[in-house]
């Protein structure tokens, strides 16, 4: 009798421990977006109210792994969607480390061809791990959990196209959760922004977004005043590294944000940013990740 009692106590304890770890993964929660501090590059993690996750770019090295480890519990080794905005090292190299360490549900990219060993490694891992690889361009609509996603750039399929400039194939996503919109821009420049504004015409399409990723790390070739006026963000963030040789973000971009009365945070001075959405509003805060 005593053995049976001990058996059931051990069973109940095991079920309790298992439930303790698994229940948070099944319960609904607020949508969250983390702007990761990865140095001179960019990486953004989004988690939907359903718990599904999307990682947009990975930064220039494996720093993204320690950043993800700061956010995700140690048993959480699955990312639903990994998006590569374009083929430059400061966006793709960290994603290679992610593919090596995490199980990934699917990959989104432009399909453009660009020389470099990092892209060879990227596609080799996708093939070896048999990860579905989706090509996206303007007008493609997808969902992740309860979040609607619209691709706004590149303007056409870039499969097999050898682009002279990798930025010409930058993937741009507008993500909508309830009434809140997030615009992830990669390394757009002013010409790309003009193309998007010409394509995205109301009532079918609106650029207005509550959260804006400042394009191209705050380079003076991006974030034109007309584009900023079309987006009308309530908050902006800049993915940028400390003491970078490009002198990003440029003073003209910061001045534009300040004159437009748009609050912003930058990863080189303030570290990683966490944005939490809910009840038609959002709040942003640092989550303890150091500036890099």
pLDDT digits (tens, 9 = 90+) for 32-43: 999 999 999 999
Could you read off the pLDDT of 135-150 as tens digits, one per residue? Answer: 999 999 999 999 999 9
Burial class of residue 32, CB neighbours in 10 A (0-12, 13-18, 19+): buried
* Listed residue (157, 92, 154) closest to 125, CA to CA: 92
* Packing angle, helices 63-71 and 89-101, rounded to 10: 60
The span from the first CA to the last CA of the chain, in angstroms, equals: 61
**Which residues are CB-contacts of 4 (< 8 A; sequence separation ≥ 6)?**
none
Q: Are 222 and 196 in contact (CB under 8 A)?
A: no
Q: Are 85 and 56 in contact (CB under 8 A)?
A: yes
**How far apart are alpha carbons 169 and 112 in whole angstroms?**
7
Which residue reads 């090596």 in tokens?
A: 100
Q: Are 123 and 95 in contact (CB under 8 A)?
A: no
Could you read off the pLDDT of 163-211 as tens digits, one per residue? Answer: 889 999 999 999 999 999 999 999 999 999 999 999 999 998 999 999 9
CA distances from 189 to 203, 212, 228 (A): 25, 14, 12
The SS3 call for residue 264 is strand
**Which residues are CB-contacts of 169 (< 8 A; sequence separation ≥ 6)?**
86, 87, 110, 111, 112, 114, 154, 158, 161, 163
* R_g of the chain, CA atoms, integer Å: 20
Question: DSSP assignment of 8-32, as one string?
Answer: HHHHHHHHHHHHHHHHHHHS----E
* Listed residue (20, 58, 5) closest to 36, CA to CA: 58
Q: Round the average pLDDT of the chain to a whole number and report it.
A: 92
pLDDT tens for the chain, 292 residues long, are 555 565 556 555 554 444 444 444 444 589 999 999 999 999 999 999 999 999 999 999 999 999 999 999 999 999 999 999 999 999 999 999 999 999 999 999 999 988 778 999 999 999 999 999 999 999 999 999 999 999 999 999 999 999 889 999 999 999 999 999 999 999 999 999 999 999 999 998 999 999 999 999 999 999 999 999 999 999 999 999 999 999 999 999 999 999 999 999 999 999 999 999 988 899 999 998 999 9
């Amino acid at each position: 009798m005593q053995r049976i009692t001990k058996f059931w106590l051990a069973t109940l304890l095991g079920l309790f421990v298992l439930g303790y770890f698994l229940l948070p993964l099944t319960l609904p929660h607020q949508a969250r977006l983390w702007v990761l501090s990865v140095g001179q590059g960019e990486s953004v993690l989004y988690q939907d109210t359903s718990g599904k996750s999307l990682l947009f770019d990975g930064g220039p090295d494996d720093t993204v792994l320690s950043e993800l480890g700061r956010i995700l519990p140690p048993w959480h080794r699955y990312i639903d969607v990994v998006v590569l905005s374009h083929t430059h090292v400061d966006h793709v190299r960290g994603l290679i480390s992610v593919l090596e360490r995490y199980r990934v549900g699917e990959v989104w990219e432009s399909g453009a061809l660009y020389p470099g060993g990092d892209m060879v490694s990227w596609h080799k891992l996708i093939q070896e791990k048999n990860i579905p690889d989706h090509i996206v361009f303007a007008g493609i609509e997808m969902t992740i959990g309860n979040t609607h996603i619209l691709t706004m750039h590149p303007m056409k399929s870039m499969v097999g196209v050898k682009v002279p400039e990798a930025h010409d194939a930058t993937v741009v996503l507008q993500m909508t959760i309830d009434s809140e919109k997030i615009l992830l821009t990669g390394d757009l420049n002013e010409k790309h922004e003009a193309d998007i504004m010409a394509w995205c015409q109301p009532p079918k399409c609106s650029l207005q977004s509550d959260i804006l990723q400042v394009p191209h790390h705050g380079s003076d070739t991006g974030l034109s005043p007309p584009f900023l006026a079309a987006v009308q963000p309530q908050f902006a963030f800049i993915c940028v590294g400390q003491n970078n040789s490009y002198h990003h973000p440029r003073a003209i971009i910061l001045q534009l944000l300040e004159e437009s009365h748009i609050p912003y945070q930058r990863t080189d001075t303030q570290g990683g940013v966490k944005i939490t959405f809910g009840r038609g509003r959002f709040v942003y805060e640092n989550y303890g990740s150091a500036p890099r």
